[in-house]
């Protein structure tokens, strides 16, 4: 996990906020908590954050209006909204003002990790990464060999990116589903197996199937294609 990423968590439920903060810090992020919009504004003016994680239902004014004011001030920090609202209008309003993603309460912590990582990957200035003889290009969303694109497709690339990011750790199937499919989409374990099969053709010794749990990527076992 990239430890320099910083998150501003705006959530007025202190117990829930502490749970999220503890989890995200275990994942390697630096988390600053605010419990109302006024405190969040003060922190935003003092520091720059990699990501905002804002609850929508807040005292004084909601998270949507808080983020709208930050956007109007020129702040382009990505945001994930936390919401217990079921109405479609609130979610559409969030995306209209620049939301990157949202999570419905009660929050699944593994899904939270996956969505935070996905948003930060999309916004990360690090666009190139070497995997042995291969080159990952985050801007092109593809894998290259000798400067030739392998045309993995978006979901296969996203899966590879997730496995590489968690290199050496087992990535549960639930986290893979959350990373590859939005909550409004139907996920498919069969599709995941197809994607893994494609990746194993490129990295035959680097991907382990932890049966019934998930998959693990070992960068040290990446070999040149035969």
165: left (phi over 0), alpha (psi -120 to 50) or beta: alpha
Q: What is the pLDDT of residue 39?
A: 92
56 contacts 81 by C-beta, under 8 angstroms: yes
Q: What's the confidence (pLDDT) of residue 2?
A: 38
| pTM score over 0.75 | no
- Residue for token digits 């954050």? 49
Cα gap 194→19, rounded to integer Å: 35
| Buried b / exposed e along 122-137 (16+ C-beta atoms within 10 A) | eeeeeeeeebbebbbe
- Which pLDDT tens digit goes with each residue over 25-74? 988 899 999 999 999 999 988 888 989 999 988 878 888 888 888 888 87
pLDDT at 35: 94
pLDDT tens series, the chain, 226 aa:
334 689 999 999 999 999 999 999 988 899 999 999 999 999 988 888 989 999 988 878 888 888 888 888 878 889 999 887 666 677 777 777 788 888 888 888 988 988 898 888 776 655 678 888 999 887 778 899 988 999 998 899 989 988 988 888 898 998 898 888 876 678 889 999 999 999 999 999 999 999 889 999 998 898 888 7
CA distance 12 to 38: 12
The domain covering 6-123 belongs, at the CATH homologous superfamily level, to Response regulator (3.40.50.2300)
Three-state SS at 43: helix
User: What per-residue confidence (pLDDT) applies to 21?
Assistant: 95
1.10.3720.10, 1.10.10.10, 3.30.830.10, 3.10.20.30: which CATH number matches 128-221? 1.10.10.10
Provide the mean pLDDT of the chain. Answer: 86
The pLDDT score that the predictor gives to residue 203 is 94
Q: pLDDT value at position 144?
A: 93
Domain boundaries, the chain: 6-123, 128-221
The pairing of beta strand 101-104 with beta strand 79-83: parallel
What is the 3-class SS of 92-132, one letter each residue?
HHHHHCCCCEEEECCCCHHHHHHHHHHHHHHHCCCCEEEEC
pLDDT at residue number 124: 64
Cβ(9)–Cβ(32) below 8 Å? yes
């Amino acid at each position: 996990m990239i430890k320099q990423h910083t998150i501003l968590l705006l959530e007025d439920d202190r117990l829930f906020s502490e749970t999220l903060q503890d989890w995200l810090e275990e994942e390697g992020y630096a988390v600053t908590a605010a419990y109302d919009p006024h405190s969040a504004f003060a922190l935003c003016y003092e520091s720059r954050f990699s990501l905002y994680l804002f609850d929508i239902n807040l005292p004084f004014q909601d998270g949507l209006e808080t983020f709208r004011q930050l956007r109007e001030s020129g702040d382009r920090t990505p945001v994930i909204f936390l919401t217990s609202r079921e109405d479609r209008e609130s979610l559409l309003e969030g995306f209209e003002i620049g939301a990157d993603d949202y999570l419905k309460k009660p929050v699944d912590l593994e899904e939270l990790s996956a969505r935070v990582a996905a948003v930060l990957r999309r916004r990360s200035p690090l666009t190139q990464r070497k995997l042995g003889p291969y080159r990952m290009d985050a801007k092109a969303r593809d894998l290259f060999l000798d400067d030739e694109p392998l045309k993995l497709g978006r979901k296969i690339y996203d899966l590879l990116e997730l496995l590489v990011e968690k290199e050496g750790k087992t990535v549960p199937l639930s986290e893979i589903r959350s990373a590859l499919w939005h909550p409004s989409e139907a996920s498919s374990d069969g599709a995941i197996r197809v994607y893994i099969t494609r990746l194993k053709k490129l990295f035959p010794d680097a991907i382990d199937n932890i049966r019934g749990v998930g998959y693990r990527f070992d960068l040290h076992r990446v070999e040149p294609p035969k």
